[in-house]
């Protein structure tokens, strides 16, 4: 190994020096220059002879071993490149297949935009349903208040009947009447509040419908 490396260095030096002599000789020849007895033609001849000798010697050199680096680095082998090509080809086929399926199903950008608009419309409808749900809840409360007021009115009527039938219990009946009247008043006030809330809900729904 050491001799081979030294041999290579020596041959490389001879190559370089011979080429230098050839270049200088060519320059002397073109410019018709001379250095004492050494003319451009002589230097060119010497350089060419040196190069010819070097090439003749190098013809007997043993060719360097061609190592199979794919055994050390499998990705450098043909199988590695083939696998990469197959993977890239599979991805390309998958993309083409997906595009074909989308085209056959008529799924395009226009359809996706329409779907987005439909979702926005659905969201608006859901908000409208929420407002309607609030109005229904208020209506139910209103019905409950009306039922309770009817019960109180019926109770008051019964008290009046009892008052007519039994005058001896006038004082007690008067007290009960006052109590029921106060309760009726409270129920009517609560009913008025619920009616106001219901009107507000309906007003909001009308405003939302008008703005659309």
Q: Is residue 137 part of a domain?
A: yes
User: Looking at the domain assignment, is residue 68 inside a domain?
Assistant: no
Is it the case that residue 1 has pLDDT exceeding 50? no
For all residues of the chain together, what is the average pLDDT?
A: 70
Same domain, 57 and 79: no
Q: pLDDT class for 177, splitting at 50, 70, 90?
A: confident
Could you report the per-residue pLDDT of 116-159, keeping only the tens digit for each?
776 777 676 666 655 555 656 666 776 677 777 777 777 777 77
**Tokens of residue 157, six digits:** 């009527």
On whether both 17 and 85 belong to a single domain, the answer is: no
pLDDT of residue 71: 66
What is the dihedral angle through the alpha carbons of 181, 186, 192, 196, rounded to the nearest 10 degrees? 180
The count of domains in the chain is: 3
If asked whether residues 134 and 193 sit together in one domain, one would say: yes
- Judge if 36 and 91 occupy the same domain: no
145/207 same-domain check: yes
Residue 23 lies in a domain: yes
**Percentage of the chain modeled with pLDDT above 70:** 54
At residue 108, the 3 state secondary structure works out as coil
User: Phi/psi zone of residue 36: left (φ > 0), alpha (ψ -120 to 50 degrees), beta?
Assistant: left
Three-state DSSP at 39 gives strand
Look at residue 109 and tell me if it is in a domain: no
Whether 90 is covered by a domain: the verdict is yes
Asked if 147 and 173 sit in the same domain, the reply is yes
pLDDT in tens, 198-207: 777 767 777 7
Q: Are residues 58 and 78 in the same domain?
A: no
In the structure, what pLDDT confidence band is assigned to residue 197 with cuts at 50, 70 and 90?
confident
Residue 90 reports pLDDT greater than 80: no
Same domain, residue pair 40 and 82: no
Residues 94 and 31 in one domain: no
Q: Tell me the pTM.
A: 0.29
Whether residue 77 contacts residue 70, with contact meaning beta carbons closer than 8 Å, is answered with: yes
Query: Looking at the structure, do residues 91 and 53 belong to the same domain, yes or no?
Result: no
Say if 122 falls within a structural domain.
no
Q: What is the pLDDT of residue 189?
A: 78
Question: Is the same domain home to 88 and 132?
Answer: no
Q: How confident is the model at residue 36 (pLDDT cuts 50, 70, 90)?
A: confident
Checking if the pLDDT of 70 tops 70, the result is no
The domain containing residue 188 runs over which residues? 128-211
Evaluate whether residue 170 is within a structural domain: yes
In a domain, 111, yes or no: no
Average pLDDT over residues 84-108: 62
**136 or 9: whose pLDDT is higher?**
9
Looking at the structure, tell me whether residues 134 and 175 fall in a common domain: yes
Residue among 163, 179, 161 nearest 187 (CA): 179
Among residues 62, 90, 112, the one where a domain terminates is: 62
pLDDT for the residue numbered 2: 46
């Amino acid at each position: 190994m050491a001799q081979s490396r030294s041999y290579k260095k020596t041959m490389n030096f001879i190559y370089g020096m011979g080429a230098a002599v050839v270049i200088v000789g060519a320059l002397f020849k073109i410019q018709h220059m001379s250095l004492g007895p050494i003319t451009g033609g002589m230097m060119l001849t010497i350089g060419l002879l040196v190069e010819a000798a070097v090439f003749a010697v190098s013809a007997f050199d043993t060719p360097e071993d061609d190592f199979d680096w794919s055994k050390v680095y499998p990705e450098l082998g043909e199988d590695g490149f083939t696998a990469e090509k197959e993977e890239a080809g599979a991805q390309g086929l998958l993309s083409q297949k997906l595009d074909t399926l989308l085209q056959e199903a008529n799924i395009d950008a226009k359809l996706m935009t329409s779907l987005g608009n439909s979702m926005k419309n659905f969201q608006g409808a859901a908000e409208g349903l929420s407002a309607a749900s609030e109005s229904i809840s208020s209506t139910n409360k209103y019905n409950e208040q009306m039922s309770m007021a009817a019960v109180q009115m019926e109770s008051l009527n019964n008290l009046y009947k009892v008052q007519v039938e039994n005058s001896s219990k006038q004082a007690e009946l008067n007290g009960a009447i006052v109590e029921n009247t106060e309760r009726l008043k409270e129920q009517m006030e609560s009913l008025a509040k619920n009616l106001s809330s219901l009107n507000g809900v309906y007003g909001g729904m009308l405003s939302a419908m008008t703005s659309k």
